[in-house]
Amino acid sequence: MTSTVRVSDVTKAYGRVEAVRGASFALGQGELVALIGHNGAGKTTLMKLMLGLIRPTSGAIEVLGDNPAAGEFAGRRQLGYLPENVSFDPALTGRETQAFYARLKREPVAKALDLLDAVGLGAASRRRVSTYSKGMRQRLGLAQALLGAPRVLLLDEPTTGLDPELRQTFYDIIARLAAAGTTVLLSSHALTELEERAGRVIIMNRGIKVADGSIDELRRLARLPTRIRLKVAGLAPSEMPPWAPADATCRRLNGHIVEIDAAPERKIELLHRATAAGNAVEDVDVVPPTLDELYAHFLRQSEQAP
Amino acid sequence: MNILIIAAKEIHQAIRNRWVLAATLLLAGLALSLTFLGSAPTGNVGVRTLDVVVVSLSSLTIFLVPLIALLISHDAIVGEMERGTMLLLLSYPVARWQVLLGKFLGHLAVLAFATCLGYGAAVGALAATGSQIDSDSFLAFAAMVGSSVLLGAAFVAIGYLISALVRDRGTAAGICIGLWLLLVLIYDMALLGVLALDQGRSISAAALNAMLLANPTDAYRLINLTGFANVSTFAGMAGLAQTSSLTIPVLLSALLGWTLLPLGLAALAFSRREL
């Protein structure tokens, strides 16, 4: 797998505040990577560094063979970017804006205007951007990011302001591009959305990369318990089933549901025990740790580390 | 190519925002009123009207064109940064100096269009009312229009330099107004005061020339009021015109320098800027 973006030991300091500290990673062709972290964790700073909008205090960055800090921009023809809170010149219409950006990328204007329909801007594209709602500006932002055939897509909070239907379309487009070999780096707060889609997750906290891997890898690393929910008939309200292991945390959720926190390697054993107990168990649900929980875990871990 | 794409967009925006219309109407309105009201005290006997127009219009240009130029340019970089549009533009395959030069060409085109059309209206009106316009007068007028555009270019470049250096739009606007007052009003008064106090004892002619070249509006004034013999008689500058060693090429290169130097510095400041 060839990498399209390489970040090596990059630090970016604003005065005494270090927005990014010693971050290193490489993004490969066709990867769909989620960059998560709370506000001020350094997500936007990383993207700006990749675009050469700011220069690293130390370390090196390479994007599509360019060194953005030196002002090289040949590779940017194959790069799409959607900034957080994207804004456009209010006096121009959506079509005019899209045509302008298409010309800068030397893309045929007619093809670029088709993208406006693809993001559902359709009829509104003939109106001035000043009349657009937040969601419509976001659609136009997506349309310009998809111009050409980007090999790298940097999307900063791309789904804020999009309605659920367009969110779905958006993730479909992204998945199709990633399958065709585009590197997609996407930052978001909507962790549940990313959970099924991102092949890889990078978690940032206070400028430091605290975790990097596929969700399964992160689950293994985090060793968070899987929650097993069992619907058990004939239990008194505060009673626990007799087969529940003494060393696992159990709680009663409501009427007949018992929730057990199972360590990853004891999952199967617990299920065996539950089913061996006879037909008292009516239903079972296995909930692996969600991205939300993993995120919280790695954040806690990095806060405790010196 | 990139430069032209950006210039075209700037022009498009200026038309949409009615900047072009407003500037053209303002300049045409003032040029026309000066043409007809300005000739009232002299009457029309024996005086070549267009020469009078050149004198009065160039005095007006010194106030107005720098103001218009600073108004459209002070916001060019810092304003786009504040609105967030610069972030997206710079993620495209364009160099920052191309963005700056493209904007410059676009803004200059708007200014040149407004000046040529606005001032051209004055000549058109004179011709239509049957005034005699000889070729000397016309040459002086054309030089006035050309140097007005050059004066505008200098102030657009100065506006960019300020825009590339400051943190927010308000500061840019404030500095631009201050600079306008300084260069257009205060500088000449201060210079006059210094000369009157000095009584020609320590300030040499060369020093005075240098001080005149150090202000683009003075260079412009000298081009138009002393550059053409037919005009300088009306401007009351005939004496000065004969003694001044500041020739038209020197004055023009001063204006050109006032354009290129701030533009180069603005490009440098912009390329170092983080956003």
What is the per-residue pLDDT across B235-257, written as a single tens digit (0 to 9) for each?
666 555 555 677 888 889 999 99
Q: Do residues A10 and A23 lie in contact, with contact meaning Cβ atoms separated by under 8 Å? A: yes
- Neighboring chain B residues of A83 at a CB cutoff of 8 Å: 84, 87-88, 91
Could B2 and A88 be called an inter-chain contact, meaning their C-beta atoms sit closer than 8 Å? Answer: no
Q: Is the ipTM of this complex over 0.95?
A: no
The pLDDT score that the predictor gives to residue A300 is: 86
Confidence at B86, pLDDT banded by 50, 70, 90:
very high
pLDDT (mean) for A147-168: 87
Chain B residue whose CA is closest to A97: B9
Alpha helices in chain A (DSSP H): 43-51, 94-104, 109-118, 134-145, 164-179, 191-195, 215-222, 267-276, 291-304
Q: Please identify among residues 143-202 of chain A the ones whose CB lies closer than 8 Å to any CB of chain B.
A: 144, 154
pLDDT (mean) for A284-304: 85
CA torsion A241-A245-A251-A252 (nearest 10°) is -10
Over the Cα atoms of chain A, what is R_g?
Answer: 23
Chain A residue whose CA is closest to B99: A104
Q: Share the mean pLDDT of chain B.
A: 86
Identify the weakest region by mean pLDDT among A72-76, B131-135, B189-193: B131-135
Give how far B271 is from chain A: nearest CA, Å.
Answer: 9
Q: In a 3-state reduction of DSSP, which class is residue A139?
A: helix
Considering CB atoms only, which of B12, B84, B274 is closest to A54? B274
Nearest of A192, A180, A194, A193 to residue A150 by alpha carbon: A180
Candidates B3, B11, B87: best to mutate against A (most CBs of A within 10 A) is: B87
Percentage of residues in chain B with pLDDT exceeding 90?
A: 49
Considering CB atoms only, which of A74, A92, A100 is closest to B93? A74
What is the per-residue pLDDT across A49-86, written as a single tens digit (0 to 9) for each?
999 899 999 999 999 888 888 878 888 888 999 998 89
Give how far B256 is from chain A: nearest CA, Å.
Answer: 28
Residue A105 touches partner B, C-beta closer than 8 Å: yes
- CA dist B167 and A61 (Å) reads 27
Alpha helices in chain B (DSSP H): 2-16, 19-37, 49-73, 78-83, 85-89, 96-128, 135-165, 169-180, 187-198, 205-213, 216-226, 229-235, 238-243, 248-272
